[in-house]
Structure 1
Amino acid sequence: MNLYQGRSIWSVSWFWLGIASVLFLSLSLRFWKISQFNTLVFDEVYIAKFANNYLTHTPFWHSHPPLGKYLIAIGIWIASLNPFGYDSLNSLTGSILSPFSYRWLNALIGSLIPLVIAGIAYQLSHRRSYALIAGLLAAADGLLLVESRYALLNIYLLFFGLLGQWLFLLALDNQPGRRGFFLTLSGACFGASTAVKWSGLGFLVGIYLVWISAWVIRWLQSFRSIATYSSSASNPSATIMRHGASTYTPLQNLTQLKLSHLLFDLGAIPALVYRLAWIPHLQLNPELNFWTLQKLILVGHQQVGSGSEVHPYCSLWYTWPWMIRPVAYFYYIASDIAEPVPSLGPPLPGNAGTVIYAVNGMGNPVLWWLSTATILFLLGILAKRICLEVTVVISKSLAVQQSISFTGIDCWIGLYLVLNYTANYLPWMKVTRCTFLYHYIGASIFAFLAIAWMVDLWLRSNQPRLQALGVTVIFLILLAFIFWLPVYLGLPLSSENFLSRMWFRSWI
């Protein structure tokens, strides 16, 4: 029996119960003992300090745009208005603050990201099952959890970039009269993502690539005498990517968007938001103008070296999908569990002591490895279909025409995931500075969506073996998340338990 038979299984009430559970899980893990390390963890030594500088009116320069730091500053200000979270205090930011005050907003925004990912999945497929699986897998990723628990910037970059993509898909799914409203909001979010870090531009570039591809596909199909046909019996790849329950995705409306839409809503609006985001920073630092700051950011990144001599956790872009070199955000060895963790920076790893407190910026290994394999698999299938489409144009072979189709929802979703993954990943090939695993975080989301899509197809299959495979994948991902949870949350571990989670020497 198909696991998805019966309307009651995926009824609206059960769907929202599942989404509420994902949100509860995300909130609980991100806020639980969020102040346990009364210090500045990893890049909080810069980000939290700079955010507080806006509140103390202290001029400074940083190599990233200001929006993420504004938001952390707003979080600090809001926290100062209520009595919660002040069980521990420090002056490491230049003011007497609690760790809760500069971390809580990251935790809240990070808790919402799995919901935005679920929204993207639903808009792509109009399937609640796919949306719920995608949200659950995102909630079970370690790097997203770690980045959400500290005053860092990547969570804001992700939130605005993914929200922009969700709003763009909503625009495609609405009538032309309402489409402009969602496109404007989408463009504003893309501008905000770029105003956190320049790498946030990848989410907008991905949309442009998908739009251009839609017109190329339309042009190629104008040469075909048969518009849509799918011979899954003779094409195993089509069988794997096929699903019969849904036949529509908003991506099929891409060619309804005119160039003027993209130039204004996804061109001028993001540029305007990015420019406006700099106004408070320029008022605090009047000696530098907007263009000078952009040049300083570019030159600053170009002057950063690379290799272990610059930072022990530098890693090359092609190692990220396989998670070869995670980043130690925090590491401290205590004599026993009663010893307080000092408020100064953590010492370098050593052999003294019996209790290890470690926070590793690493993803869920099972999720990352399976999602990487899935996105490469989709890339191979799409490359094959593109080659066949080109063959149709060149040879005008009816036999080839009848073996492929670029109008099905499977191809559109695969194209969307692969192109957005590419837009957020491949630009790092040209970066010569020291880079880290967390720079892959934008691309990883689309790999998560890919494995969630594949799992959903397996669960919808009439073949018990595929259904069992889908259940097994979800189980293994959740089991891995639980196993590595202590190094995401910084729970006290014995050296043996810590090393049992460091499967490779490069992880230490």
Structure 2
Amino acid sequence: MQPISHKSSRWFTIGMASIFLFSVILRFWQLGRFNTLVFDEVYYAKFANNYLTQTEFFNAHPPLSQYIIAISIWIGYHLPFWQEIVNNETGSTLASWSYRWVNALTGSFIPLVVGAIAYQLTKRWSYGLIAALLIALDGLFLVESRYALNNIYLVIFGLLAHLYLIIALQDSQFKQRKWLALSGIFFGASAAIKWNGLGFLLGIYLLWILAWIIEFFASKKRSGYISPWQNLTRLNLIQLTLNLFVIPIITYSLLWIPHIILNPKYGFLEMQQQIFSYHQRIGSGVDTHPYCAQWFTWPLMMRPVVYFYKNTGLLDKPEPSLPPLPSDIGDPKVNPLIFDVHAMGNPILWWLSTWGILLLILMLFNRVWHWEKNRQARHKKIKPKQIVKFPPASEIWLLVYLVINWLSNFLPWSRVSRCTFLYHYMGALVFAILGFSWWVDRWLNSRQIRLKIIGVTVIFIILLAFVFWMPVYLGLPLSPQSWQLRMWFRSWI
């Protein structure tokens, strides 16, 4: 594959900048519109404020996201504007945007990181733009970015670790050390948000093992385009252990120091035991939480989570957490409005991405099956009956990378017995969307007009779906009829 031209590079930059601006606007628009703590902000925003007020507390997750939110609060509190509307729900008098704005900024960068990974893997500007756009059109990433929650940090740190590793595998030996170390630091940082951040690292371990297996059985001669993942075998055991094991552990451990200084009741190892025991004690099912969703339901988005819900027709008095009601609705009890923040993805994008990643799995199985048949035929010195050429050999490693990382961030949840939620799928979702973006990129760059039309139509439908469900991503006021129109399944309510 050839690098993009100067002209294409310019349009790629303009496109990525436009996607970033689009993401920033959506995430910062009326960021403090609900002047309260939304969903798990009752934990993370409070815990972040506890660090600033030096208040001891127990945290059931590693502390890095709360450090970041604490920085957000500290900066926001000292700014001389947007302080008119405040609440005391964190334990201090704060404007709600002050504990949310760093999340919004961080979430705005995720499409850029995803686009960079797609481009670095293929050197195709179109693939990078499509992947960035589709991530920007997902509702769950938007919702998670607008509140003081922690999943955005888990995802972006895991993706940055992958991006730096990809760069390292394409760079010179001197610079490789720097990028490898940065990759290890971000792997540790992702785990320091939640332990399921380790799924990003598990995918790399599995790829490294697979690369050595293929190196052992395949021909030593390499020609044409070399995927970064084929270069994984350049990492010897010492490099792998240092950068992708020791450095993540050191990073993870060091990030606990401020928390343990403030909360000296448990040491580092005791805290890990306490967290593990805490999550073991959490039950499962609707009796534990009404929005528990089993892991195998996530790709079909069968059970989203309601983060915030108010029906003005059921309120006895004005609700201070709500923004001002539209002046033309009259009596809110006669003409009720629903304010709903649904932590749900873009349904069309999720369903198509699930189809796309499953199709990639079937394609890889098909290639392996034909490869084995052809290997046996060559061993017997007979001509193979069929040589499979799609997808090109240069892209096989890309598909292997996507499938392995999707499985690494998804299948381990099958062993978790506690209540799980749809947002636990976010790490795996990125790779599913990257897989579907690969299909769209092939359609748009096909010589067949029919496939080009399919590619354009799919993007347009995903965009329409994003606009249609945007009111429940942003918590815009809806009539009961309009709200019900967006709840396609009973399990969504």
TM range (shorter): over 0.9
TM-superposition CA deviations, 1:250-281 (whole Å, max 9, x none): 22322222121210001100000000000000
Does residue 274 (structure 1) correspond to residue 252 (structure 2)? The answer is yes
Does residue 368 (structure 1) correspond to residue 347 (structure 2)? The answer is no
TM-superposition CA deviations, 1:80-122 (whole Å, max 9, x none): 2212332310000000011111000000000000000001001
The match for 1:106 is 103
Q: Please state how far the C-alpha of 1:400 moved relative to its aligned partner.
A: 4.2
Report if the CA contact (8 A) 1:86-1:100 is conserved.
Answer: no
The match for 1:83 is 80
SS in 2 for 1:478: helix
**Equivalences for 1:203-282 in 2 at 5 Å?**
203-222=200-219, 247-282=225-260
Report if the CA contact (8 A) 2:370-2:386 is conserved.
Answer: no
TM-superposition CA deviations, 1:328-371 (whole Å, max 9, x none): 0000011499x854339xxxxxx996100000000000100000
TM-score (norm. length: structure 2): 0.92
Report if the CA contact (8 A) 1:126-1:249 is conserved.
Answer: no
Q: Please state how far the C-alpha of 1:316 moved relative to its aligned partner.
A: 0.5
Report if the CA contact (8 A) 2:63-2:259 is conserved.
Answer: yes
Does residue 381 (structure 1) correspond to residue 381 (structure 2)? The answer is no
1: CA distance between counterparts of 2:261 and 2:476?
Answer: 42
The counterpart of 1:403, out of the listed 387, 395, 404, is 387
* Structure 2 unpaired stretches of 5+: 323-332
SS in 2 for 1:80: helix
Q: Please state how far the C-alpha of 1:439 moved relative to its aligned partner.
A: 0.4
Code of the residue aligned with 1:56 in structure 2: it is: T
The counterpart of 2:341, out of the listed 359, 375, 379, is 359
TM-superposition CA deviations, 1:187-237 (whole Å, max 9, x none): 0000000000000000011111111111112223249xx989xxxxxxxxx
Report if the CA contact (8 A) 1:171-1:182 is conserved.
Answer: yes
The match for 1:233 is none
Report if the CA contact (8 A) 1:164-1:186 is conserved.
Answer: yes
Does residue 180 (structure 1) correspond to residue 177 (structure 2)? The answer is yes
Q: How many residues in Structure 1 have an aligned counterpart in Structure 2?
A: 476
The match for 1:241 is none
Does residue 463 (structure 1) correspond to residue 448 (structure 2)? The answer is yes
262-271 vs 80-89, greater mean Cα deviation: 80-89
The counterpart of 1:18, out of the listed 6, 15, 35, is 15
The match for 1:238 is none
**Equivalences for 1:112-127 in 2 at 5 Å?**
112-127=109-124
The counterpart of 2:267, out of the listed 289, 301, 305, is 289
The match for 1:326 is 304
SS in 1 for 2:78: coil
| 1:341/1:249 CA distance change after superposition, 3 Å | farther
| 1:358/1:312 CA distance change after superposition, 3 Å | same
10-19 vs 437-446, greater mean Cα deviation: 10-19
The match for 1:53 is 50
Report if the CA contact (8 A) 1:220-1:393 is conserved.
Answer: no
Does residue 424 (structure 1) correspond to residue 409 (structure 2)? The answer is yes
Code of the residue aligned with 2:47 in structure 1: it is: F
Q: Please state how far the C-alpha of 1:505 moved relative to its aligned partner.
A: 0.5
Code of the residue aligned with 1:221 in structure 2: it is: A
The match for 1:32 is 29
Does residue 168 (structure 1) correspond to residue 165 (structure 2)? The answer is yes
Q: Please state how far the C-alpha of 1:392 moved relative to its aligned partner.
A: 4.8
SS in 1 for 2:341: strand
| 1:340/1:109 CA distance change after superposition, 3 Å | farther
SS in 2 for 1:332: strand
Report if the CA contact (8 A) 2:121-2:227 is conserved.
Answer: yes
SS in 2 for 1:360: strand
The match for 1:43 is 40
How many percent identity over aligned positions?
53
Report if the CA contact (8 A) 1:63-1:300 is conserved.
Answer: yes
Q: Please state how far the C-alpha of 1:177 moved relative to its aligned partner.
A: 2.0
Does residue 500 (structure 1) correspond to residue 475 (structure 2)? The answer is no
| 1:407/1:274 CA distance change after superposition, 3 Å | farther
1: CA distance between counterparts of 2:178 and 2:218?
Answer: 31
381-390 vs 468-477, greater mean Cα deviation: 381-390
* Structure 1 unpaired stretches of 5+: 1-5, 229-245, 345-350
Code of the residue aligned with 2:57 in structure 1: it is: F
Report if the CA contact (8 A) 1:221-1:227 is conserved.
Answer: no
2: CA distance between counterparts of 1:66 and 1:399?
Answer: 60
Report if the CA contact (8 A) 2:186-2:248 is conserved.
Answer: yes
The match for 1:152 is 149
Report if the CA contact (8 A) 1:220-1:390 is conserved.
Answer: no
Report if the CA contact (8 A) 2:153-2:190 is conserved.
Answer: yes
Code of the residue aligned with 2:472 in structure 1: it is: V
Code of the residue aligned with 1:488 in structure 2: it is: Y
1: CA distance between counterparts of 2:84 and 2:397?
Answer: 51
The match for 2:459 is 474
TM-superposition CA deviations, 1:17-59 (whole Å, max 9, x none): 1111000000000000010000000000111001100000001
Does residue 312 (structure 1) correspond to residue 290 (structure 2)? The answer is yes
2: CA distance between counterparts of 1:480 and 1:367?
Answer: 8
| 1:380/1:95 CA distance change after superposition, 3 Å | same
TM-score (norm. length: structure 1): 0.90
Q: Please state how far the C-alpha of 1:404 moved relative to its aligned partner.
A: 4.6
Q: Please state how far the C-alpha of 1:402 moved relative to its aligned partner.
A: 6.7
Code of the residue aligned with 2:109 in structure 1: it is: L
TM-superposition CA deviations, 1:373-401 (whole Å, max 9, x none): 00000011112222333445556355449
Report if the CA contact (8 A) 1:359-1:490 is conserved.
Answer: yes
